[in-house]
Amino acid sequence: MSQTAIRIRELTKTYGNHRAVDGLDLDVHAGEVFALLGPNGAGKTTTVEILEGFRDRDGGEVSVLGTDPHGATRAWRDRIGIVLQTSGGLDLLTPREILRSTAKGYRASRDVDEVLEATGLTAKADDRISGLSGGQRRRMDVALGIVGRPELLFLDEPTTGFDPQARRDFWELIRGLAHDGTTILLTTHYLDEAEHLADRVGVIAGGRLLALDTPAALGGRQSQEATVSWEEGGTRQNVRTATPTTEVASLAARFGGEVPELTVTRPSLEDTYLGLIAPHVTDERQEVPA
């Protein structure tokens, strides 16, 4: 991960009087899965659209796979894959037809049958898109994003509409892509998804980066006090402590063995995330395209 796939310096974008992105600095390493988190209106969508070359910036420097995406060439686009939040206009075609047509636009596309299998669409390969469920359509979006064998994959809320098992299957697909060296930039509102998939997470609000770390260490999670809980005298007892192992040993000695209904928890990624964005959500505004 010594190379940088995405480099952002002092990125700004303003819509009227609203600065959606406000001097953002960020690096995404080659080969990592990076999750970009933030509330609605935080600047995520605008930032990602600038990185994809779909939106112009007002200021700052941006490099994606060594290229400024503003006015990038077809050769650059051949190296990236994009899974948008929504897509349409394909209802009369089948997944196999769409993927075969799309694959022809890439120099080194993946085998269509392989993509159908990887995204769980083999059984629906020859059905019209109009007959697919919402989750199956979302899988089709993902299939279109990976058929070109991209070096860098943008995933915008990729598992919206997936049932729990489909989400788990998708996570395995993403892990496989990352293992093969694909750099992945993920935006999601599912904190468990970010925790399972991401090597690092960045939290933005108000167009600024609030925190950047691994999911386990974000916001100092590893050093925060743990809560030790147990049942005693018909009530739930709780102790917050920086030394939970010592507390558990003391309880075990007092109870003479097993501690009833014992749990030891630290703040979850969701707890940490909500704490980071709390000062910003009262002034939350939607990003309005220019």
Residue 100 pLDDT exceeds 60: yes
Contact 270, 191 (CB under 8 A): yes
DSSP string computed for 28-74: EETT-EEEEE--TTSSHHHHHHHHTTSS--SEEEEEETTB-STT--H
pLDDT in tens, 217-273: 888 777 778 899 999 989 999 999 988 999 999 999 999 999 999 999 888 888 889
pTM: 0.82
Give the count of beta carbons closer than 10 Å to the beta carbon of residue 3. 10
For residues 271 and 266, what is the distance between their CA atoms, to the nearest angstrom? 9
| pLDDT score for 285 | 46
Helix (H) or strand (E) holding 136: helix 134-146
| pLDDT score for 86 | 65
Sort residue 179 into left (φ over 0), alpha (ψ -120 to 50) or beta: alpha
pLDDT in tens, 163-177: 788 788 888 888 888
Question: Residue 93 — very low, low, confident or very high, per pLDDT cuts 50/70/90?
Answer: very high
Give the count of beta carbons closer than 10 Å to the beta carbon of residue 106. 16
Contact 18, 39 (CB under 8 A): no
| pLDDT score for 290 | 45
Max mean pLDDT among 6-10, 109-113, 115-119, 272-276 falls in 6-10
Average confidence (pLDDT) over 118-143 = 88
